[in-house]
Structure 1
Amino acid sequence: MGRWLLLVVVTVAVTVPLELIGVPSAALFAALLVGIALALLSLAPAGVPRKAGVAAQGVLGVYIGTMVHRDAIDALGPHWPIVLGVAVATLVLSVGAGVLLGLQRDISPLTGSLAMVAGGASGLVAIARELGGDDRVVAVVQYLRVALITASMPVVVTLVYHAEKAPHAAAPSQTDSLPWYLSIAMLTVIVLVGVLAARLIRLPGAGLLGPMAVTIVLELTGASLGLAVPLVLVQVGYAVIGWQAGVAFTREAVRAIGRALPAAIGLIVVLNVACAGLGVLLSRMAGISLLDGYLATSPGGIYAVLATAVETGSNVTFIIAAQVVRVLLMLFAAPFLARGLVSLNKRFAKTNYTPESTSRSREPIRVAD
């Protein structure tokens, strides 16, 4: 109990200032850093209970699902095929980058692919272990991707696209939300039903994708009744996911990830440039501005994308819709790609990671097998 108390207190103390300076998914980042630090000092708990991890996945799944709105999807109009095509191209590029990252010592192609998938960072970290990947590597590289893209976005928007802040810009708001106690009750039911249904049909990543799928159906059919996940629960979910990866770190894992960071940074930069090229293609085919195309195809940092779109007076609704399509495609496709990579791995019996670097974070594939 003393170790858990220390973990919680220090995580909260680190999360608060990160939130104040606007770090995305601050609770996840803080929990990851604190978990790593305490694990290396032998002060961390032995591990996060599996049920807590599934619950955190469920909360996150519902939270992501509430971002899907019919009006945003309708904003794509006749351009949804090209938006979907761009999202698929982004997926192919990110998986290719992940395979290249998997050539690094101590990192498997499966872990590399999950680490480089351009969307749903916290969701992928949450289910990486379940799919057979090393969630420690996935957590570090995914957060690095989001951080680099978020940090570079204001510079790119200003220097490349010469965007200026639009006057009287206001972010879209959601009204008529359910009271928090009804939202929690509805959230609980959705998570239970979603996880059970996903396991019955053997859906990979049942804890995340099951509740997410149920929430999306409710949102698109208008049956969500204004469901809104309380921010406190979202932050707790982020923290649990960060702890799950952080407390499993060892000194060897830190050294292994450190060796891979230069390659990861280079691949993230290449991926960002390639997606900017897809943004040019989207702008020409959909008749939108180059800035809108860039923001719509950004391979990460969805909250930074939204804030930038609002401040520059861009086509916010179209950009949100395109980003939601990207995130959902990544989250739903990644587990099936993981299954395919595992099958290929078994067929050719070739891996290039050492068991010592991943043994503590690997479990049998209970859902995807």
Structure 2
Amino acid sequence: METPKNRQGGSDNIFLPKLAQARKISLRWICLLALSAILIGVFLAIHLAAGLMLGPMIAAIIMAIRGKNVTISRPVFALSQAVLACLVVSSLNMTVLIDIAHNWWLMLFSVFSVIIVSFATGAALAWFGVMPGTTALWGSSPGGASTMMLICGSFGADPRLAAFMLYFRVILVAFATSIVAWLVSAGHNIPYLPPVPKGDLLPTLIFVVVTGLISTRIKFPAAPLLLTMVIGAVIQLSGLFAISTPQWMRIPAYLIIGWSIGLRFTLPVLQHAMRALPAVIFSSTILVGTCALIAIPVAKLAHIDLLSAYLATSPGGLDTVIIISAGAPVDLPFIISLQTARLLAVLALGPLIAKPVGRWLENHSPKRKTSR
């Protein structure tokens, strides 16, 4: 006969595994937060731009490689992207839009030159048999990494290898642009976080929550970022209310974006991609360097500073570039307009280019001919 004591023991046996799991997850979060704080402190001590994102990114990579992953829910990530979008649109005005409209031809040149260079790099990897053609093309695409990773699997690419290529380049771009911004900003007495324009905080908070949560139900890549940008630009330019992103909103968004990128680098992903690692490093370096060279004529033709042009043509993720740009003396609206235009162009042209060209490369590459 079951006694109350036995029933209590059975109840304990049910809850003990859940309690142990909760403790394990809590310990992982504590370790991630502590490691992130240490790395952020190091980066801020040397005034490195985007230190609030790079520190958490590296901490998350260390945790992911060791198999100590944590999970960031989709709504939390969406809210973080919505905050970044608000950071962008808070600096918009009609003068900026008129200036962008006057430089439409330069936008086209910048967008398509980077797309051509990126897909050419991927085509070279496929031609020499380093990786499958479609995967190489999607992995080299200059759209936002999270966006490309969401759609590449639907067009015949290996999501694990493409994710490694995309996020490796994001990290490379993040470090390269942060160091360049740090060097350029030396002597300008740039604060850790730039001053926040005055605005209407409560309407902004409501707007972030509404667009962030609605966008999670929209099956469109980068929906939280793009939807909030579009609606936020209308609100800002119409004068309905002034969008404001105080530091206590931006800092958690930086942390979550950094963690989200770093946690992608799990040990299975790295093991799967290890064979192609030298080629990925080489091709990513070439791509980032070539885009930096494209920035030189863009800066001269647009009459902007070289750092702004460099960030505008940089083939990293849109959210990453926003964070880096926010901590440097640059033309943020020009950078974001160029990055957004390129993201939309890749979304439109990527499926038309990657699958047919990737298959052709796989069938006609010298390595495949040799193996026949």
| The two structures share one fold, judged by TM-score above 0.5 | yes
1:138 maps onto 2:166 in alignment? yes
Q: 2:201 aligns with which of 178, 182, 207?
A: 178
Q: 1:322 to 1:235 in 2, by over 3 A?
A: closer
Q: 1:260 to 1:343 in 2, by over 3 A?
A: closer
Cα deviation digits, residues 179-201 of structure 1 (max 9, x gap) = 5xx654432211233344x44xx
* AA aligned opposite 2:131: D
1:209 maps onto 2:226 in alignment? yes
- The gaps in structure 1 that reach 5 residues or longer are 284-291, 310-315, 354-369
Cα deviation digits, residues 43-71 of structure 1 (max 9, x gap) = 234x847xx23541443144224412475
Cα deviation digits, residues 11-65 of structure 1 (max 9, x gap) = 3233224433244444654454444444444x234x847xx23541443144224
Q: 1:36 to 1:228 in 2, by over 3 A?
A: closer
Q: 1:28, 1:239 within 8 Å by CA — same for their partners in 2?
A: yes
For 1:253 and 1:3, locate their aligned partners in 2 and report how far apart those are by CA, in whole Å.
Answer: 29
Match of 2:333 in 1: 321
For 1:164 and 1:138, locate their aligned partners in 2 and report how far apart those are by CA, in whole Å.
Answer: 33
For 1:53 and 1:135, locate their aligned partners in 2 and report how far apart those are by CA, in whole Å.
Answer: 18
Q: 1:294 aligns with which of 299, 306, 311?
A: 306
Match of 2:369 in 1: none
Query: How far 1:320 moved relative to its partner?
Result: 2.6
1:106 maps onto 2:131 in alignment? yes
- Which one has the bigger helix percentage? 2
Query: How far 1:261 moved relative to its partner?
Result: 0.5
Query: How far 1:251 moved relative to its partner?
Result: 1.9
Size of the aligned set, in residue pairs, is 315
| Range 337-346 or range 137-146, more displaced | 337-346
Q: 1:54, 1:208 within 8 Å by CA — same for their partners in 2?
A: no
For 1:62 and 1:308, locate their aligned partners in 2 and report how far apart those are by CA, in whole Å.
Answer: 18
Cα deviation digits, residues 193-225 of structure 1 (max 9, x gap) = 3344x44xxx44435433443333333333355
Cα deviation digits, residues 249-296 of structure 1 (max 9, x gap) = 33232443343112211221121012112211222xxxxxxxx34233
Scaled by the length of structure 1, what TM-score is found?
A: 0.68
| Range 95-104 or range 246-255, more displaced | 246-255
Q: 2:178 aligns with which of 139, 150, 157?
A: 150
For 1:24 and 1:165, locate their aligned partners in 2 and report how far apart those are by CA, in whole Å.
Answer: 13
- The gaps in structure 2 that reach 5 residues or longer are 1-20, 153-158, 315-320, 366-372
Query: How far 1:245 moved relative to its partner?
Result: 1.4
Match of 1:313 in 2: none
Cα deviation digits, residues 150-171 of structure 1 (max 9, x gap) = 323565x59xxxx97599xx96
Cα deviation digits, residues 66-89 of structure 1 (max 9, x gap) = 412475451354x42453333332
| Range 269-278 or range 11-20, more displaced | 11-20
* AA aligned opposite 2:245: A
Q: 2:118, 2:141 within 8 Å by CA — same for their partners in 1?
A: yes
For 1:19 and 1:82, locate their aligned partners in 2 and report how far apart those are by CA, in whole Å.
Answer: 40
Query: How far 1:352 moved relative to its partner?
Result: 11
Match of 1:286 in 2: none
Q: 1:275 to 1:178 in 2, by over 3 A?
A: same
* 1:1-369 → structure 2 map (5 Å cutoff): 1=21, 4-20=25-41, 21-22=43-44, 23-26=48-51, 28-41=53-66, 43-45=67-69, 48=71, 52-53=73-74, 55-69=76-90, 71-75=92-96, 77=98, 79-102=99-122, 103-104=124-125, 105-106=130-131, 108=133, 112=137, 115=140, 117=142, 124-132=144-152, 134-153=162-181, 165=188, 173-179=196-202, 183-196=204-217, 198-199=218-219, 203-228=220-245, 230-247=249-266, 249-283=269-303, 292-298=304-310, 299-300=313-314, 308-309=328-329, 319-344=331-356, 348=360, 350=362
Structure 1 vs Structure 2 CA RMSD? 3.9
Say which SS state the counterpart of residue 88 (structure 2) adopts. Answer: coil
Q: 1:112, 1:138 within 8 Å by CA — same for their partners in 2?
A: no
Query: How far 1:174 moved relative to its partner?
Result: 0.8
Task: Provide the identity percentage.
Answer: 12
Q: 1:176, 1:226 within 8 Å by CA — same for their partners in 2?
A: yes
Q: 1:176 to 1:165 in 2, by over 3 A?
A: closer
Q: 2:296, 2:306 within 8 Å by CA — same for their partners in 1?
A: yes
Say which SS state the counterpart of residue 302 (structure 2) adopts. Answer: helix
For 2:133 and 2:214, locate their aligned partners in 1 and report how far apart those are by CA, in whole Å.
Answer: 33
For 2:132 and 2:54, locate their aligned partners in 1 and report how far apart those are by CA, in whole Å.
Answer: 21
Scaled by the length of structure 2, what TM-score is found?
A: 0.68
* AA aligned opposite 1:126: S
* AA aligned opposite 2:231: V
Say which SS state the counterpart of residue 250 (structure 1) adopts. Answer: helix
